[in-house]
Amino acid sequence: MSSASSSAKCKRSARRCLFGRADPALTQQWLSEKLDEIRRREEAKWGFNFSCETPIPGTSEYEFSPIAEDSVPEFYRTKLISSAASSPTKENQPELSTSSDDSDSSMMDISMSPITPAKREHATPKKRHGKVTDYMVVRKKRLQHSPKRLDIVLPEGGRLAARV
């Protein structure tokens, strides 16, 4: 009994580390290099600086122009998402310029209201998977037509009818 209880305590999972432990610093360096490579490739392709969210002038076949927020469906509008731990204060909120000279800020009306937990609930529906108990119901099907009738013609001119 003691061997059975000791084997239960030392039970190892089936997961194995085939190539040894990865160095976190090396992994992070590789990951950042790959992300920079992808970022540079996409910036060259689209002519848009995604980190600063500004177009790169004269480097793309696409022309970016600002539009009013009201002309865009609500789904695509800019939203400010803040964590519940940090409450928006006057110090944390960025100042918006009110001058009419800056066409970008006058065209873009940024909504500074955070997404509430109630909105977040409706935004991402929970996945519910029902338990499947029967995959396929097997039923015997009966034929709707009558049974076969066998007619036998006898040489004397008589007939014999039988059902099979």
- CA distance linking residue 109 with residue 80, whole number of Å: 12
Query: Which of 51, 78, 52, 83 has its CA nearest to residue 67?
Result: 78
pLDDT digits (tens, 9 = 90+) for 17-28: 788 888 999 999
Band (pLDDT 50/70/90 cuts) for residue 106 is very low
Task: Report pTM.
Answer: 0.35
100 vs 139, residue with greater confidence = 139
Query: Cα-Cα-Cα-Cα dihedral of 76, 78, 79, 80, to 10°?
Result: 160
- CA distance linking residue 93 with residue 110, whole number of Å: 12
pLDDT digits (tens, 9 = 90+) for 41-92: 999 888 888 888 888 887 778 888 888 888 989 888 877 776 655 555 544 4
pLDDT of 111 over the 60 cut: no
- CA distance linking residue 46 with residue 39, whole number of Å: 11
pLDDT of 96 over the 80 cut: no
What's the token pair of residue 6? 């000791």
SS3 49: strand
111-119 long-range contacts, CB within 8 A, separation 24+: 111/69, 111/77, 111/78, 111/79, 111/80, 112/80, 112/88, 113/80, 114/80, 114/81, 114/82, 114/88, 115/79, 115/80, 115/81, 117/84
Band (pLDDT 50/70/90 cuts) for residue 141 is confident
